[in-house]
Chains A and B, each alone.
Chain A
Amino acid sequence: MMRVLTFALAMAFVLAGASLDTSAQSDAPTIKIGYAISRTGPFAPGAQATQEPSYILWAEQVNAAGGINVKGQKRKVELISYDDRSEVETIVRTFEKLMVTDKVDLILPPWGSTANFAVAPLADKHGYPVLAPTALSMKLVDMKLPYFFSMLPQPYVLMAAAADMLAANGVKTVAVIYMDDVFGLENIAAFEPAVKAKGIEIVDKKSYPLGIKDLSPVLRAIKDKNPDAFVGLTYPPDTILASKQSKEIGFNPKVFFTAVGTAFPLYKQVMGPDSDGVSGIGSWSVKTSPAAKAFFDAHVKRFQKEPDRWASAHGWAGLQILQAAIEKVGMDRKAIREYIASGEHATIIGPVRFKGSEIQFPGTVSQWVGGDFEVVWPANRATAKLSIPKPAWK
């Protein structure tokens, strides 16, 4: 009896599989795009807030429109994705498998500076172009990998913009905390000369590790030094921790600036009215362009959550460039690379071009104003007026 049942099940399986195959064959071959991204582990909150939703949304939109036009033939996109568990070895192994064994047509980048640092040389070796929306590392840019393109302006651009903003608003002293990993170290290295060039004194400078649960010992010491501005080169959980604990100890400098995560919708959700006047790294809002608004609305509709106001749009812009490249030059990866490297590309964050690996895009500062995270610096990018001094915590 069991044998019969097993046989029947197996037959049903085979038949179902066969019928699936024929339906797939009736279309043009799909464009296989592989990636590994963090769905578990410490990188997962960032990856799921800023990056993977855009990949899924993009593939769905492309396929709903019938696919990408490759030399007159409409080809749909097939995403082949893996969880990289936030482990560098897994990231490297998975991308190696995708490029060497699976031979996917294209790849999409993983999340974060560390992961991209590991994948970029590998992708370059195999000749896969990468448009990375979450890689902040001068070291990576300095490798001058022809196939690597960073969608974010690098630390020295971002930190110069922050220093400009501070100096223009009469800030004389600043206290800074930074996370002791690639992100924090590269940004503090860029931040120090930037503020010194503007004659701003750094009165306190402390590093902290990933996963910290109490910053109040450091913040209390900073409060006693009464700096004009506070700058946290922080990651999402610590961005919120530093904000909550500054409120707790009544530390309210003229400028309160935190890095990654300030642009997340979660920030407003957990800080409520206290978010008002907090500034941080951000580069766009729905007011930036109608295309940005359309992306925002589609993201909310599909995932019931807002994209973040920084890297999400840069990631989307990268996908736009990739799609335009395929439509223009077809599936040859070398030709795609040439297309990306030369000329100007129209995207939702505005026209962009590349110089080496670096995107030519100004450093920006955003601020929570009236319930949204608006670009406030520089003036030609601003979607709202900078409000200084920051109002008291509620």
Chain B
Amino acid sequence: MRLWVELIVSGFITGGIYALVAMGLNLQYGLMRILNVSHGEFLMLGAYLVYWAHLVTHLSPFVFLPPLLVGLFVIGLVIHRLCFRRLAETTPEVEAFEARSLLVGFGLMFVVQNVALLVWGADLRGYQYLSRTVSVAGVGFTANRLVAFAGAIGLGLGLILVLRATLLGRAVRAMMQSPTGALLVGIDVRRLHPAVFGVGLALAGAAGALLSMVFEISPSMGEPYTVTALIVIALGGFGSVTGSLLGGLLLGVVEAIGMHLTSPSLKMVLSYGVFMLVLITRPNGLFVR
């Protein structure tokens, strides 16, 4: 029994990060059809910025979370202005836009990764933060993983709350449901699109910051998370932010239990197995009504 509790909690912890990464990507895709394959690179950027700030100041990495969110939001605005706005203006068809945004994403991936390489080098890096073990009823976890999980879930729920409860959130959801309808009722796309793109990057950066508290970081750390995020999005449904949160947690638990019962070498098989099963049985996502 204790083992199962441990496995499930451990799965939730991994899944929380998956969820946060996927929510940001899903927001960008669901709203603007930008398939941003460089999403993981901004996660890496967030991880490095917090690592670096922590190294210089020795303050808790959490202190840097708010400025990081703002910083990546601004970077998001700039990137949207430079890359995606023009692309959207010159490419009215959705299919063509998706394909082209994919290419832009690949370009960004190389640029951001190589900037990190130039600035920080290829070495694996890391720092110690809250590495003591917290034990609840005989089940032990390091404090940093619990804190990272809390941060991921907090940000995820916060985002859902904003989308549900505020006028801005309603505008975003309206855009996702019907872009034309939203235009008709006077929602300002030119302001909303860059903002949502920025929020997506900010969430990726936050996920990176949380990861840097737990794992070692390197310039190539982002790519696997982009792949996982795509699986999570398929699980939870394209455009469904709540679905991404639940999908991320679910994938984490499936991986943890599956790895225990079979072998960690089968992790990718498990992830893709879930992915294919969902595509076959519920192609619109598990949580889409």
Cβ B124 vs Cβ A49 within 8 A? yes
Cα of A211 to Cα of B264 in the assembled complex, Å: 11
Contacts of B264 in A (CB 8 A): 177, 206-209, 212, 215, 217-218
Residue from the list A212, A266, A393 in contact with B125, Cβ < 8 A: A266
- Answer whether residue B265 sits at the interface, using C-beta atoms and an 8 A cutoff: yes
Cα of A264 to Cα of B3 in the assembled complex, Å: 33
Q: What residue in chain B is nearest A218 (Cβ atoms)?
A: B264
- Answer whether residue A3 sits at the interface, using C-beta atoms and an 8 A cutoff: no
CB contacts under 8 Å to B, within A8-60, are 38-42, 44-45, 47-49
Contacts of A274 in B (CB 8 A): 131
- Using known A-B contacts A40-B114, A206-B263, A224-B3, determine if residue A214 contacts B256 with beta carbons closer than 8 Å: yes
Count contacts between A and B, CB distance < 8 Å: 115
Contacts of A208 in B (CB 8 A): 263-265, 267
Contacts of B145 in A (CB 8 A): 248
Cβ A209 vs Cβ B259 within 8 A? no
- Nearest Cβ on chain A to B53's Cβ, whole angstroms: 17
CB contacts under 8 Å to A, within B113-147, are 113-114, 117, 121-128, 131, 133, 135, 140-142, 145
The stretch from B84-92, B215-223, B236-244 touching chain A is B215-223
- Answer whether residue B7 sits at the interface, using C-beta atoms and an 8 A cutoff: yes
Cβ B128 vs Cβ A266 within 8 A? no
Residue from the list A221, A249, A264, A305 in contact with B260, Cβ < 8 A: A221
- Answer whether residue A385 sits at the interface, using C-beta atoms and an 8 A cutoff: no
The stretch from A194-202, A239-247, A284-292 touching chain B is A239-247
- Using known A-B contacts A215-B264, A237-B216, determine if residue A266 contacts B124 with beta carbons closer than 8 Å: yes
Cβ A237 vs Cβ B122 within 8 A? no
- Answer whether residue A216 sits at the interface, using C-beta atoms and an 8 A cutoff: yes
Total B residues in contact with A, Cβ cutoff 8 Å: 39
- Answer whether residue A356 sits at the interface, using C-beta atoms and an 8 A cutoff: no
Q: What residue in chain B is nearest A217 (Cβ atoms)?
A: B260
Cβ A40 vs Cβ B219 within 8 A? yes
Q: What residue in chain B is nearest A52 (Cβ atoms)?
A: B122
When each residue 226-246 of chain A gets 1 if its CB lies under 8 Å from chain B and 0 otherwise, what string results? 000000000011001100100
- Nearest Cβ on chain A to B15's Cβ, whole angstroms: 10
Cβ B131 vs Cβ A247 within 8 A? yes
CB contacts under 8 Å to A, within B43-88, are none
Residue from the list B14, B125, B126, B218 in contact with A214, Cβ < 8 A: B14
- Answer whether residue A180 sits at the interface, using C-beta atoms and an 8 A cutoff: yes
Cβ B122 vs Cβ A47 within 8 A? yes
- Answer whether residue B28 sits at the interface, using C-beta atoms and an 8 A cutoff: no
Q: What residue in chain A is nearest B127 (Cβ atoms)?
A: A270
- Nearest Cβ on chain B to A73's Cβ, whole angstroms: 36
- Nearest Cβ on chain B to A107's Cβ, whole angstroms: 21
Cβ B7 vs Cβ A217 within 8 A? yes
Cα of A264 to Cα of B10 in the assembled complex, Å: 28
- Nearest Cβ on chain A to B215's Cβ, whole angstroms: 7
Cβ A44 vs Cβ B3 within 8 A? no
Cβ A244 vs Cβ B131 within 8 A? yes
- Nearest Cβ on chain B to A339's Cβ, whole angstroms: 34
- Answer whether residue A301 sits at the interface, using C-beta atoms and an 8 A cutoff: no
Cβ B220 vs Cβ A44 within 8 A? yes
When each residue 247-261 of chain B gets 1 if its CB lies under 8 Å from chain A and 0 otherwise, what string results? 000000001110110
CB contacts under 8 Å to A, within B168-196, are none
- Using known A-B contacts A48-B121, A220-B3, A248-B141, determine if residue A266 contacts B126 with beta carbons closer than 8 Å: yes
Q: What residue in chain B is nearest A178 (Cβ atoms)?
A: B265
- Nearest Cβ on chain B to A6's Cβ, whole angstroms: 28
Residue from the list A45, A211, A214 in contact with B122, Cβ < 8 A: A45
Cβ B256 vs Cβ A217 within 8 A? yes
CB contacts under 8 Å to A, within B6-39, are 6-7, 10, 14
- Answer whether residue A380 sits at the interface, using C-beta atoms and an 8 A cutoff: no
Cβ A40 vs Cβ B131 within 8 A? no
- Nearest Cβ on chain A to B220's Cβ, whole angstroms: 6
Contacts of A42 in B (CB 8 A): 220
- Answer whether residue B162 sits at the interface, using C-beta atoms and an 8 A cutoff: no
Q: Which of A42, A213, A305 has the most CB of B within 10 A?
A: A213
Cα of A206 to Cα of B133 in the assembled complex, Å: 25
Cβ B142 vs Cβ A247 within 8 A? yes
Selected A-B contacts with CB under 8 Å, 28 pairs: A42-B220, A44-B117, A44-B218, A44-B219, A45-B218, A48-B123, A49-B124, A180-B265, A209-B268, A212-B264, A212-B267, A213-B14, A214-B255, A214-B259, A216-B6, A218-B260, A218-B264, A221-B3, A221-B260, A236-B216, A237-B124, A244-B131, A266-B125, A266-B126, A270-B127, A270-B128, A271-B128, A305-B123
Having A45-B123, A250-B135, A271-B128, one finds 19 other A-B pairs with CB under 8 Å, namely A38-B122, A40-B122, A44-B122, A45-B122, A48-B121, A207-B264, A209-B264, A216-B6, A216-B256, A220-B3, A221-B260, A236-B216, A240-B126, A244-B142, A248-B141, A266-B123, A266-B124, A266-B126, A269-B126
